Amino acid sequence: MINKSMQDAMNDQINKELYSSYLYLSMAAYLEDKNLSGFAHWMRVQEAEEREHAMKLYDFIVERGGRVMLKAIDAPKTEWKSTLELAEEVAAHEALVTASIYALYELALKEKDYPAQIMLQWFITEQVEEEKNAAEIVSNLKLIEDRGTAVLMLDHRLAKRGGK
Ligand code: FEO
């Protein structure tokens, strides 16, 4: 059975994953409004993945005989100065999520919760991918700056991104 401190920390992480989903959905809406449907598609794929992350933690708590306790999700921002600023915020946000997963893993080590350690290794690997994808889009956007044709080409490429 999952212990109380691990359960509380995982419930907090569920909230962070659901906030990530809400933030990315807000970003998708902003991009849709700018007619950047490829970038919006990228954020919608991310948004769905964040809900999967929340549900992975949810299922783990249930399987271990714990209690899922949902909390209020903060309102995300709705405006960005540019697509680059938005992509930089995705990268910064993913770095925060990684730090939070590492803290959860450290707690699992301290509590000698071996099943949690194994489950969290999936998240550690996933975060490497998430950070890499965001960093790649930031660096592409920096390279092309505000050249419209290049932005549209990147938008077209992102429209083809599938989920993992
Ligand atoms: Fe659930 Fe993008 O980390």
Pocket of ligand 1 contains residue 94 by CB under 6 Å: yes
Q: Which atom of ligand 1 is nearest to the CA of 16?
A: 1
Q: Which atom of ligand 1 is nearest to the CA of 126?
A: 3
Report the C-alpha gap between 41 and 19 in whole angstroms: 18
Q: How distant is the alpha carbon of residue 110 from its chain centre?
A: 25
Which H or E run contains 65?
A: none
Q: What integer pLDDT is reported at residue 10 of this predicted model?
A: 98
Pocket of ligand 1 contains residue 47 by CB under 6 Å: no
Pocket of ligand 1 contains residue 155 by CB under 6 Å: no
Q: What integer pLDDT is reported at residue 48 of this predicted model?
A: 98
Cα 15 to ligand 1 centre (Å): 11
Pocket of ligand 1 contains residue 130 by CB under 6 Å: yes
Structure tokens at 99: 């730090």
Catalogue all structural domains in the chain, each as residue range(s) with its CATH number. Answer: 4-159 (1.20.1260.10)
Please, where are the H alpha helices in the chain? Answer: 4-33, 37-63, 83-110, 114-144, 148-158
Tens of pLDDT along the chain (164 residues) come to: 999 999 999 999 999 999 999 999 999 999 999 999 999 999 999 999 999 999 999 999 999 999 999 999 999 999 999 999 999 999 999 999 999 999 999 999 999 999 999 999 999 999 999 999 999 989 888 887 767 777 788 888 888 877 65
DSSP state of 66: -
Q: Which atom of ligand 1 is nearest to the CA of 49?
A: 1
Model pLDDT for residues 20-68, shown as the tens digit of each residue? 999 999 999 999 999 999 999 999 999 999 999 999 999 999 999 999 9
Q: What integer pLDDT is reported at residue 150 of this predicted model?
A: 79
Pocket of ligand 1 contains residue 20 by CB under 6 Å: yes
